[in-house]
Chains A and B, each alone.
Chain A
């Protein structure tokens, strides 16, 4: 910006910085609140005034992973003493860990849903980015008749409202037995991300000078060798950025997962809200589940920060 000159301009500048800081804090407040609630004892999660300073606990995470039931009477002292530390935390909260007949700890639905989310998001990302990179190269380097129409067609599949696509897909999946399976979701997410991956990768590949490959071709590489040995390494950053975007989209997706899965292949996004049933929900457990679920995305966002703009605008803005 132009050098700050007069006193009033300087004051204005300071005011703008202060406003930016306030806005940033406001935007981060809900995320802070999720994080802090995930480490609170249950009785401090819903107090008025809100509890800001407290001794962090790990008990919400123990509860998140275990199946529990209400304790009617306090556990016998010898049972309590014999219990491992994490089980005592559950006792302290007035609940007990449910064990099978053979005494094995029963897990809650959460770890399973988290694994499903990982399987579905990673597999669909690999497929979408793989196919997308090939296709983007095809569009970038070769003349294709009706290229603009084809690219519009590819993009338009991304814009379809999930519920609109879900109705026929549900019927078709039911006919072939893909409802509530990992592959059912993987196919949907691959199709959904494929258009995005083609558009984004085309932008990245367009930026790699054609001369690199041409030089390789003159040196006796075949076109395929040039693609794998010259273009792919050059496009590595773009591929990584595209993959992270596809992963986040698949990881966060809710509507398809809600409609197409109910138990076996259910991912975390439809599962976490379903925990808030009737009665008073334990918000510390929900916060713990939310926190773990958001963590990978938060990390990826930081890794991706330089490519975010480009990804979010479908490559309209390069930077």
Chain B
């Protein structure tokens, strides 16, 4: 952890000699936040790192025994855990791809003079501001095989969505796509509207076809912002818990967060779940790192 070290400050601030010095103010403003985050985020993680090397069970009074790397070894050799990761990967791919296709497509359509554009964008944003758990629950009614409006609208009869092991993960992904495509749409739209118009005019003068214009002008210029949207959504989809947990209880939708939750709070394998949490944590931090790199690159433009 880098410490906040005093450096030279604005020497013109004569007033700093009265009242608190700038350095004191800076430390007073920054250090409590850092401490708060260390106490409530980093300390718990260190605490659970310790438990990840034990066979501790929070449901019993038995003392924790040190088992070394056994938890990690067993988890990494457990085909069921790998199956959970595979389900998570499938979910991430389906859901993020869907969001990019729908979101970017809608942004392309919206990137023109459209009446009530402001109102339309605001309305499209509504789904992602709502609670995943609460709205997700309502999709249970929409997906209902006998009286859900989805089957009715698509003429699917009594097609099973959530109770169907092959379909359930896609059903969860569709709900996620509904909620989060607008996010991709919003970011893409910001990127699209920033493309200088003279580039399109030049392309038109050169009689460039629409495909050429799209792949050589639009896409490269929107790509950095689109990447931010994709990485962010990948990270969130990887961590997904609420939607899948509420909508179904199929083994085919048991993403890694749900496995972790069950291991920790239903099976009470506390030590083992701490080890799994660490494996997940390392993966998330890797994606976060990539995300922040892109974020800074876009900010610098």
A135 to B29, Cβ gap below 8 A?
yes
Q: A2-B201, A187-B40 are in contact. Are A164 and B138 (CB under 8 A)?
A: no
Within the complex, which residue of A13, A160, A190, A194 is in contact with B112, where a contact is CB–CB below 8 Å? A13
| Complex A-B, nearest 5 residue pairs according to Cβ-Cβ distance, in ascending order | A146-B2, A222-B19, A138-B29, A168-B44, A252-B131
Interchain residue pairs with CB less than 8 A apart (18): A1-B112, A2-B201, A20-B109, A48-B152, A132-B33, A138-B29, A145-B3, A150-B4, A155-B288, A159-B287, A164-B280, A191-B37, A248-B129, A252-B133, A268-B134, A273-B246, A290-B138, A316-B298
Q: Which of chain A's residues 1-39 have a Cβ closer than 8 Å to chain B? A: 1-2, 13, 16-17, 19-20, 23-24, 27-31, 33-34, 37
Contact status A157-B37, CB under 8 Å = yes
The residue that B47 contacts in the complex, of A135, A172, A297, with Cβ under 8 A, is A172
Q: How far is the CB of B62 from chain A (nearest CB, A)?
A: 15
Interface centre among B10, B15, B121, B277 (most CB of A within 10 A): B15
Q: Tell me if B133 and A154 are in contact (CB < 8 A).
A: no
Query: Which residues of B in the span 73-108 have a Cβ within 8 Å of any Cβ on A?
Result: 106
B82 CB to nearest chain A CB (Å): 18
Known contacts A145-B5, A160-B284; A297/B129 CB under 8 A = yes
Q: Flag if B9 contacts A171 (CB, 8 Å).
A: no
Establish whether residues B149 and A223, one from each chain, have CB atoms under 8 Å apart when the complex forms.
Answer: no
In the complex, residue of chain B having the shortest beta-carbon distance to the beta carbon of A21: B120
Q: Are A167 and B274 in contact (CB under 8 A)?
A: yes
Known A50-B152, A317-B225: A167·B273 in contact at CB below 8 Å:
yes
Contacting residues, chain A, for B291 (C-beta < 8 A)? 159
CB of B123 within 8 A of CB of A152, answer: no
Contact A154 B183, CB 8 Å, known A145-B3, A165-B45: no
The answer, yes or no, to whether A91 is at the interface (CB within 8 Å) is no
Contacting residues, chain A, for B154 (C-beta < 8 A): none
- Report which of A171, A220, A312 forms a contact with B270, defined as CB distance below 8 A: A171
A170 touches B58 (CB 8 A): yes
- Residues in chain B within 8 A of chain A (CB atoms): 1-5, 7-10, 12-16, 18-20, 22-23, 25-30, 32-34, 36-37, 40-42, 44-45, 47-48, 51, 58, 106, 109-115, 118, 120-135, 137-142, 144, 146-147, 149, 152, 178, 181-183, 186-187, 190, 197, 200-201, 204, 225, 228-229, 232, 235, 239, 241-242, 246, 257, 260-261, 264-265, 270, 273-274, 277, 280-281, 284-285, 287-288, 291-292, 295, 298-299
Once bound together, how far apart are the Cα atoms of A162 and B22, in whole Å? 37
A214's closest neighbor in chain B, by CB? B12
A287 within 8 A of B: yes
Q: Mark A54-85, 1 if CB is under 8 A from B, else 0.
A: 00000000000000000000000000000000
CB distance from B235 to the nearest CB of A (A): 6
Q: Report the Cα distance A17→B116, complex, angstroms.
A: 11
Which residues from B are CB-within-8-Å of A161?
239, 241, 257, 260, 277, 280-281, 284
In the bound complex, do residue A254 and residue B133 qualify as a contact, i.e. CB atoms below 8 Å apart? yes
Known: A170-B58, A217-B15. A252 touches B130 (CB 8 A): yes
Chain A CB within 10 A, most for which of B10, B36, B134, B229: B134
Q: Is A317 within 8 A of B130, CB to CB?
A: no
B220 to chain A, nearest CB (A): 18
Given A37-B141, A160-B284, A300-B129, the answer on whether A290 and B135 have CB atoms closer than 8 Å is yes
| B186 x A312 contact (CB < 8 A) | yes
The smallest beta-carbon distance between B153 and chain A, in angstroms, is 9
Chain A residues with CB under 8 A of B58: 170-171, 174
- Contact in complex: B134, A191 (CB < 8 Å): no
Using CB atoms and an 8 Å cutoff, list the residues of chain A in contact with chain B: 1-2, 13, 16-17, 19-20, 23-24, 27-31, 33-34, 37, 46-50, 131-132, 134-135, 137-139, 141-146, 149-150, 152-157, 159-172, 174, 187-188, 190-191, 194-195, 198, 214, 217-218, 220-227, 248, 251-252, 254-255, 259, 268-270, 272-273, 276, 283, 286-287, 290, 293-294, 297-298, 300-302, 305, 308-309, 312-317, 319
Complex CA–CA separation, A144 to B28 (angstroms): 13
* Chain B positions within 8 Å of A276 at CB level: 137, 140
- Bound: A272/B134 CA distance, A: 7
Give the contacting residue for A27; candidates B123, B201, B257, B299; CB below 8 A.
B123
For A293, the chain B residues whose CB sits under 8 A away are 131, 134
Please give the distance in Å from B136's CB to the nearest CB on chain A.
8
CB-based nearest B residue for A135: B33
Residue of A nearest to B33 (CB): A135
Q: In the complex, what residues of B have CB within 8 A of residue A153's CB?
A: 1, 34, 37
Chain B residue at smallest Cβ distance from A146: B2
**Chain A residues closer than 8 Å to B132, beta-carbon distance:** 252, 254
B contact residues around A31 at 8 Å (CB): 126-127, 130
Q: Which residues of B contact A20 (CB under 8 A)?
A: 106, 109-110, 114, 120
Determine whether the beta carbon of B113 is less than 8 Å from that of A1. Answer: yes
**Contact partner of B33 among A194, A286, A287, CB < 8 A?**
A194
Name the residue on B nearest A187 (C-beta): B40
